[in-house]
Structures are given as C-alpha cells and as structure tokens.
Chain A
Amino acid sequence: MFGFMHGGGESAADGGSPALSAIEMLPIPQRLYLPLRQHAGYPSVPCVTVGQKVGKGEVIGRADVWGSVPLHAPTSGTVVAVTACPTGHPTGLTQLAVVIEPDGAERWSEAVQGMVDPLNAAPSLLREQIRAAGIVGLGDECFPSHLKLTPPRGKRVDLLLINGAECEPGLSVHERLMVERANEILSGIQIIMRIVSAKQCFIGIEQGKSAAIQAMTQAAWGVAGVRVQGVPAMRPHGVRQQLVAALTGKNLSLGARLLDRRLLVHNVSTACSIHDAVWRGRPLLSRVLTVAGGGIARPANLEALIGTPLRHLIDHCGGLQSGVDQLFLGGPLLGQAVNTQDVPVLKSSTAVLSFLPAAGVAKPQQPCIRCGRCVEACPMGLVPAEMARRVRKGQLMRVAELQLHDCTECGFCGFVCPSHIPLLDTFRYAKWVLQAEKWGRQPPSVGGGHALSERDGTAGEPAVVAPPAVVMAEAVAVREEVTVGSASGKGARAVRAAHAARAAKAAKASRDQAK
C-alpha cells in the first residue's frame, strides 16, 4: 500500500536480453583454462601432470579438505600446462590453472557413475556424491553446495526455497533452464529435500515469465510438498533476503541466518546440476551463460564448458560490434570488467556482457538533486543519497549508523541516479575505511579533509588522502579521462590532484602553522 514497499527497479536494465532464445551447446574450444579456485573456500590442488591424458569428468584438482570441492576435466584431452592464467578481475591478476587441449573424443572417465535409487539413499552418501561432483551454488557466491546441505547440529530445514528469478537483470539463464529442463530441476529439488528432510518447497519464479511458470508447474504436478509461486518482478532476487520476503513474507536482515528460520535457498541451476551429479554421476562440467548487450552481434544463451575462453563465446555470437571496448563477466549491475577475452568461463560466471559506448554509463557527474530515486530503488531500504553525502563529508560513523553494512552492493542506486554519482564506489570506499579502522590500521584521514570532494562533481580531488583514496581517485580519474575526454580537463585535473595529494597535505599543514 501507498508504494512504501521498497525494492529494485522493475525489469530494469535489460540490455537487449535474449529472453526466449533456447540454450545452445557451444562447440568445444581449442583450449580450456581451468583455474583451481572456482568456489568459496580452499582452492583445489592440481593432481595431473603435463602431458597426462584425461577423460571427461576426471578429477584434475583434488579437494583435500571437507570445505573444498574437486575440479574435473570438462572434456577428454591432454593436459598441456599447469600455469598462471588471467581471471575475470579488473586487476588482470592471474592464478594457477590447468590447461587442457581437448581431443574432441568426449571420452568419459570410468569414475563417472550415477547412484542407484538415490531417493532412498542416506543423506550423507548423497552429500558425498554432490561434493565429489564439484557442485557449487551457481549464483554469485559459489559456495560449495554440500556445505549448504549440511545443517549444523540442532538446526533443521522445514522449507526449501528454490530461486527461479535471474541473478541480475538482462539475464535469461534460469528462465531457459526452467523451460527446457524442468524435470531435471524437479528431480534435483527432490534430492535436496531428501538430504535436508524438508517437508515443503516453494519455487519462486518472476511473474510474467509464463513459459517458465507453466513448465515448472507441469513438472511439479503431483510432487508432494512442492509448489510453484509467482514473485513480483523486482530485483534483485539474487539477494536471498528479497526472495525470502517474496515467498514467505519474512523480513530478514543481511546478517540473519536463514537456518535460524529453518529455511534453505538454492537456485534452479544448482538444482539441475545436483540432479546430473546424483542420477547420472556427472560432475559440474559446463554452465549456461547469457551472452548479451548492445556490443554483441548475436545475443544468445550458451551452455559452455567450464574453462572456455570468453573469446570463444563471443566469436560464436558473431564477435564484438565495432567501437565496443568494454567487456563484463557477470551481470550488468554486479559483474566485473575484464581486460582480456582470454578470461575463462568459471563455475560462477552467469553472463558475458558488452555494451555499446552509448549505454549511458559514462556521463559527467552532476550535483545530487535529492530526487529520491535511489531510495526508491534500494532493495534494502537504505537512503543512498544521504549515505553518500555523509561519506563525502567524512562522517563515516554516521554512515555506519545509516546501516551501510546492510548494503548488498546490488548497484541499483547507481543505475537510477540521474546525477551519475558513483554511489556504489562511494559505499565500497566507506566500507573499506570502516573495516580498516576496525582492524586498527591507520585509517585514511577523511575526518578533516574531504576525501571525496563534496561539491565539485568529480569524485576525485581528495584533499587529504591516504593510499586507498589515492588509488580510488586515480581509478576514477583514469576513467573520467578516457570517457569524458581530456578536452574537459576534468580527468587530468583529478589525476594531478591525486598525485599532488601529499604535497597538498604538507601545504595545508604549513598554512595551519602560519595561522
């Protein structure tokens, strides 16, 4: 009532999404790059040697601890290297990866074995099977699924929630999976219910995705305790709090543990891969991604082997349009910019996006006019405009009082801000500083000087700056220089300001002395 409800831009930011294009199998690329850290927790340990032949589904990275999962060869071939390869991070940092040259034979490893009668198997066996298959939550977090399926002693799960909403706007991975693999998903759900002995399951699907709702309802027909439920098309349901609220009406804070409410959330892709792992013994070898955005010639939903370089996906989709210089791994709001097409698809990759330069991202910043759109957009009920103002004034304790730590960094505030204020960057910075203070490190001096200039539009120009602010100011400055163009001189000025930060500090000190 009265529109007081908060939550997301409805179906916002659809960057030319291929909502209804069916999932295509991507041909096997010439080389696969498999970084050993693909999930939250300890990375797996390489257990192959260069030159070794591997079968499809053979373990190439061992999981030595319970909290880790193994990594498998997505197809049969030869290990050609165990070396550093770029990952999908803006820094371009590399990490250890197994490089496989596929032989194209698709020869399955003998180790791949499905379970007999899994619905009557002991939960511990099912968990071990899921762990051995390397299943992780196929959202952004990539938390190993077997851990999530092991409630601590004394906790139990009554209600299983299955997230059928997309992680981010513009994606259609979950929708296509539900349309095309509804029965597999249902089977995965039953296995999960068996493991945690949940009595009930709600499958939340965005209203309006009628094909998916229909397919899932059909598949769930007659399955005890499973119900398909439409949820309002609000983002981001990838943040589980929103989904829980939409399905159960319960309001959970970001810190609240779902298990304390006897709830468990999984998404449809995870359920699908659990089915494959348990019934057919297939490890997690591929995943479905949306390749979209104005910069992509032919947007598509692709099922790609883990480790496929982005170049291969993009070439399959007709390559990048001319004049496109940005590539993102992940959704439009949370994804990360990547600096090379050699980055491989990981278990966590949900999308590959590329936008035309005119996507309205890089407009010059204008003063906040308090229009309140960020407040309306914030799914957590925060007041981003006020928080950003406080950060700029250096009043970080006040920002913390405004529940900065409930910010999920979904990016909606920045998406709707007509003043093009980098709100999310501002909050990340504030969190960084507050964290540093907590650790007892020397915090950057934001109290006195304006770490971010209050009135000047450019988020640069820190008056008194410690290293992180300099880094940030430089990052912003570089971005502005490229986008706004050096003709305006704004970017260049910010760079100078950042470099001259220490000099400015000294000058200020001497001025104070003079007084």
Chain B
Amino acid sequence: MSQTNQLMKSSPHVHDGDSVTNVMEAVIWALMPATAMAVMIFGWTALLVIVITTLSCLVTEHLFLKLRQRPSAIADRSAALTGILLALTLPPHAPWWMCVAGGVFAILVGKQVYGGLGYNMFNPALIARVFLLISFPAQMTAWPPVTPLFSEQSYSLGDSIAIVMTGKVGAPELADAVSSATPLGQYRTETGLGKTVQEALGGGYGGYDEVRAAGGLIGGSLGETVRCWGRWGGGYLLRKKVITWHIPVSMLAGCLVPATIFWTYDPAHFPDPTFHLLTGGLIIGAFFMATDMVTSPITSKGQIIFGLGCGLLTYLIRTWSGYPEGVSFAVVIMNAVVPLIDQYTRPRVYGHMA
C-alpha cells in the first residue's frame, strides 16, 4: 500500500497547541487567588455572589445560543470568565437579583447581541457593572465592613444566604452589618466638603492603612479588596504569555503619573499615588479588565495608547467626576475607541515607508 496519509492539508502543519479555551482557562486560574481571598475576607456571601453571577452568565449564554440555533459555546469558558469577572466588581453583599440581572445583561447585551465571542465591542463584565451601577446605585455602593471567614465578625452560612437572598443589608438581626465608605468614596465626599486629603482620610491618612489596603482588608467590591492577589494572578498571566505587559503597565502609568504630578503640586487636595494604586479597582482593572483581548487593541503600540487612556480616564473620573471610582467607566470608554486605535497603530509593513 503506497498511500501514506488519508489526510491532505496545506501548511502550516504544526501548531503551538494553544486554544481559546486554554486562554480563558488560564485567566480563570489567574483569578482564583483573588477570588479565594475575596471569599476569605467577606465570607460566604462573596462565594454566593460569585456562584450566582457565574451561573446566570452560563445559563444565558446557553439559552441565547440555543435561540440563535448555534452550537452551545459554554465549553470555551468565556462565559464563565465573564461571570467571575463581573462578580469581582460587585459589592460583597450584592442581592441575588442583582447578580442575575448583571449576568444576563453581560452576556445578552454585552456579548451575544453583537454576535457572540469575538465580536463584542465592550468588555461584557464591565458593561454589566456599568449597567448595574446606573440602575441600582444604592445597592451597588453598599460597602459592608470586612468580615473575614472564620473570624468573630463573620456571618454564618445561613445569615449569608439571608443577606444575598433578601438583599437586606444591615437588617436588625444583622446589626453589625453597617455600611462603610470605601477610601475612594470617603476621599471624594469629604474633600468635596472642603476638607484636605489628610482630614478626609484621617490625619496622615491614619484611618486608612496602606498595609491593610494592600492586603485587601478594607471595604469595597470583591475584586477591589484583593488587589495584591489580583496582581499575583496578573503576574501569572504575564508569565504564561496570555497577556503582554503593555496594557497593565501603561494603564498603571496613565493613572499614577498624573497622580504623582498633582500630588507633588498640592498634597492637600490630591492624595498620593500609592493611595490611587492601592484603593479601588485599578490593579484588577489593569490586569484583568482592560486586557480582555476582544475589546482591546490588537497591536502592542495600540495597547499602550489604550492603557494610557484607561489610566488617565480613571484618574480624571476619580478626581473630578461625580463618581468616586472610574476604572470601569474608563475601560468601557476606551473600548469604544479601540477600532480607531487599531486603524492608526498598524505596524509598519516590512520594507514599506511608515
């Protein structure tokens, strides 16, 4: 028999073996330390929020693809990733209906109406967060104090279910569940009343402890509080070459450089750059949100422009807009200009003039 192969194909004949599913899985793994820390710090409610959000993303994806008569793409893990990312932007005591609404919105309006994975213009998780923030401002900014798992303040599983299922934060029977402002919120509110940064955040930033902030032990959304763990996961992604350094580095620079300049100029009214770095969602945004491949520029030059824009907008929104935190708005706004960036940052074709 002289026939060797039944299978004829054209070159290339080899592949590095990676797949979209692998990429998504790597990002999910990279999110695991942050997710685990979120659960540790906020207790069972955090776990419930994450599970409900992710499940609603998966169910929406499945049903919608069925409606569109397409093969189900649950297996590519992208919907699960969206769910986890969205959950990390929610407050720790987010009621169940908010999680579901966010998950459905993320997949339905954020992704599937554009044609599914690869065609969406905005980061689905962030567009859903923006939707929730505009729709339910009260619930989205109810920041309970940290209640680490297995500590005295922690809620039992039953209480946690009650919190998430009834949405009654600070109900009488859960007397200690009072809302506290995030450092960013405190800074905006108090400086808005004419106080200096030191007065707003306690003398010499006394009330706000950088070590606690880095470790995540201050109020905020799930992902906001676990920043050092988020950075750890981001490092993993960089090492695995799932993402490149361009977006995270330029986004941090875009926010921290103006922060340093203004702080040097007037420390009484502008907090120092470490405050910007360690509060809010800057780190998790820079490593996981802005780096979403579908909604970020395709060339490295474009990625740097995109990252700088995200960082700068974050700083502008945090300092001068009506919202205390601006990472999600910044990234979503920059998502909208990605086609333009792509158009003008094409690499120079070999041997052609620029």
Contacts and interface: CB of A to CB of B under 8 A. Distances in A.
A–B direct touch in complex (beta carbons closer than 8 A): yes
B186 interface: no
A419 B20 contact: yes
20 contacts: A4-B347, A9-B16, A245-B350, A254-B350, A333-B11, A334-B12, A340-B2, A353-B13, A355-B13, A363-B19, A367-B118, A370-B298, A372-B297, A406-B350, A411-B12, A418-B19, A420-B19, A425-B10, A428-B10, A475-B10
B346 A252 contact: no
Nearest to B10: A425
A419 B19 contact: yes
A123 interface: no
Given A333-B13, A337-B10, A418-B22, 10 more contacts: A90-B8, A253-B350, A339-B3, A339-B4, A342-B2, A359-B17, A369-B293, A375-B299, A482-B7, A483-B7
Interface stretch (A126-134, A321-329, A440-448, A496-504): A321-329
A477 to B, nearest CB: 12
Given A6-B347, A337-B9, A375-B299, A366 B16 contact: no
Interface string B285-304: 00000000110111111011
B115 interface: yes
Interface string B1-43: 0111111111111111111111100000000000000000000
A439 to B, nearest CB: 22
B47 to A, nearest CB: 29
A360 interface: yes
B244 interface: yes
B44 to A, nearest CB: 34
Nearest to A86: B2
B118 A341 contact: no
A372 B3 contact: no
A375 B13 contact: no
- Majority secondary structure of chain A interface residues (helix, strand, loop or mixed): loop
Interface string A35-46: 000000000000
A417 B347 CA distance: 18
Contacts of A307: none
B350 A379 contact: yes
Interface residues of B, number: 48
B347 A326 contact: no
Interface of B: 2-23, 76, 115-119, 244, 246, 293-294, 296-301, 303-304, 342, 346-352
A12 B16 contact: yes
Contacts of B13: 326, 328, 332-333, 335, 337, 353, 355, 359, 361
B4 A360 contact: no
A320 B76 CA distance: 34
A403 B352 contact: yes
A479 interface: yes
Nearest to A376: B300
A2 interface: yes
Contacts of B304: 2
B115 A455 contact: yes
A367 B8 CA distance: 24
Contacts of B244: 3, 372
A241 interface: yes
Contacts of B350: 6, 241, 245, 251-254, 379-381, 406
B107 to A, nearest CB: 15
Contacts of A330: 11
Contacts of B2: 340-342
A336 interface: yes
A337 B12 CA distance: 10
Nearest to A364: B19
A102 interface: no
A240 B40 CA distance: 57
Interface in A293-351: 320, 325-328, 330, 332-342
Contacts of A385: 298
B17 A360 contact: yes
A424 interface: yes
A334 B118 contact: no
A246 interface: no
Interface string A225-267: 0000000000000000100010000011111100000000000
Given A2-B300, A366-B76, A415 B19 contact: no
A6 B351 CA distance: 12
A98 interface: no
Contacts of B12: 13, 332-334, 411-412, 414-415, 424
Nearest to A333: B12
Contact of B21 (A333, A366, A386): A366
A510 B20 CA distance: 40
Contacts of B246: 3
A369 B294 contact: yes
A406 B349 contact: yes
A4 B300 contact: yes
Contact of B14 (A332, A337, A369): A332
Q: Which of B3, B14, B16 has the most CB of A within 10 A?
A: B14
A386 B15 contact: no
A370 B293 contact: yes
A179 to B, nearest CB: 25
A341 B274 CA distance: 66
A185 B137 CA distance: 75
A362 B8 CA distance: 12
A82 interface: no
A15 interface: yes
